[in-house]
Amino acid sequence: MSNQHDLGSVIWKRKILRIYRIFILFYLMGEAASFAAGWEPGLNYVITYLQDSTMIPVSTMLITLLVLELLCRYTNRNLDYIFILAAVILAGSLIITNRHIPVMQSTILVPIVLSVLYFDKVKILVTTAVSLAFMLTFYGLANQKTAAEFGPAPFSAIVICVIILACCAAGLIVINRGMELLEELREKVVCEIKLREEKAWIEEMSRTDALTGLANHKSFHDYLDHIIDSDESTPALHLALADIDNFKAINDTYGHWAGDIVLKQTAARLKETLQSSALLSRYGGEEFGILFQGMSDEEARDKLEAARIAVASIRVAEIQHQTVTISIGLYRKRVTDSKETLFKRADTALYEAKRPGKNRLCVGDGTTA
C-alpha cells in the first residue's frame, strides 16, 4: 500500500510539473507576442524590454522549475509544500512584473486551486496563508504609484484578500464533500462485501452438512451429475457407500446426542484418510457417499481399506469407549451404467459387506475383505 501511495505521489508530481511547464510556455508566448506588438527598431528596445518585463519573471520561473525537477529526480522526500510554495513564487512573479494588468492578480488563486488536488485541508490553509502573506506584503511594500495600478487602495487589497479566502472556503467545501462521498463509497463497499460473504456462507451451508462439515446429499448428486454429463465415457469413476454399523442401537442405547458425536468423529476420520483423494458426503443418516476419480480398482480399494481400519480405531467416550466400525460397498462405473445403476450396484455391495458380519469392504463383484 505504501509503495502504491508513493508511486501515486510521484505521478502527481510529474503531472504538476507538466502544468508548470505549460504555464511558463504560455507566459513566454504572451511575452513574445507583446514584444512583437511593441517592436521598435534598435537594440535598445530589446534590452529595455528584457530588463523591464521579461528578465526577472522568466529567470525566476526557470530557476524554480529547475529546482523542482532536480528535487523530483534525486530525492524521495515529501515535496508537497515545496510544490505549493513554487506555485506561489510563479504566480507572484507574474503579478509583480505585470502590475499594469489588474487581472493578473487572479493568478494568486492558482496555488490554492492546486492545493485542492492534494485533498488535504492543512495544505489548503497553508497555501491560503502564504498567498495572503504575499499579497499583503506586496501591497505593503509597493509605492503609491505601483499600488494605484491595481486599483484604489486599500479597496483593491481587501478585494483580493476576500477572493483568496473565498477560494480557500470553496476548496475546503470540495474536500468535505469529497470525504463524504468517499465515506459513502466505503460504506457501500463494506455492505457489498458483507452481502457477498453472507451469500457465500448461505450457499456453502446449502451444500454442506451442518453436523459433519461434509458435502450434503444434494451437492453430492450435483457433483456426480456434472461428472457424468461432462464425460459419460469416463471409466475411472468409483462410488462407495459407507454405513456406520449398529448405529440405531447406539442411538437407542446412548441417545441421539451420542449418535451425533459418533457421526462427527467418523466423518473426521474419513476426512483424514480420504479427503485429499475423494469427494466425501454425508449421504443420509449414518451413511456416507464417497467418489473417486482417476483411480484403479486396487487404488480405490486400498484407500477404503485404510479408511475402514482408521475408523475402527476410534474409541468414543460417550458410548463407554466402544469402537465404531463401518461397512463399505464399492463399485466402479461401467460405460453403459446409468447413475441409477451406479447407486444400485454400490448399495448392493454395501448390503453384501454387512451380511457376513459388518466392518467389511465389498467390491461390486462380490468379493469381501
Residue 204 a catalytic site member: no
Helix/strand/coil (H, E, C) string of the chain?
CHHHHHHHHHHHHHHHHHHHHHHHHHHHHHHHHHHHHCCCCCHHHHHHHHHHHHHHHHHHHHHHHHHHHHHHHHCCCCCHHHHHHHHHHHHHHHHHHCCCCHHHHHHHHHHHHHHHCCCCHHHHHHHHHHHHHHHHHHHHHCCHHHHHCCCCCCHHHHHHHHHHHHHHHHHHHHHHHHHHHHHHHHHHHHHHHHHHHHHHHHHHHHHECCCCCCECHHHHHHHHHHHHHHCCCCCCEEEEEEEECCHHHHHHHHCHHHHHHHHHHHHHHHHHHHCCCEEEEEEECCEEEEEEECCCHHHHHHHHHHHHHHHHCCEEHHHCCEECCEEEEEEECCCCCCHHHHHHHHHHHHHHHHCCCCCCEEECCCCEC
Query: 180, 203, 232, 286: which is the annotated catalytic residue?
Result: 286
Give the span between the Cα atoms of 328 and 348, in whole angstroms.
10
Count Cβ atoms within 10 A of the Cβ of residue 72 and give its class: 0-12 exposed, 13-18 middle, 19 or more buried. middle
End-to-end CA distance of the chain: 60
Which of 160, 169, 100, 103 is CA-nearest to residue 132?
Answer: 160
What is the bridge-based pairing of β-strands 322-323 and 315-316? antiparallel
List residues with catalytic annotation. Answer: 286
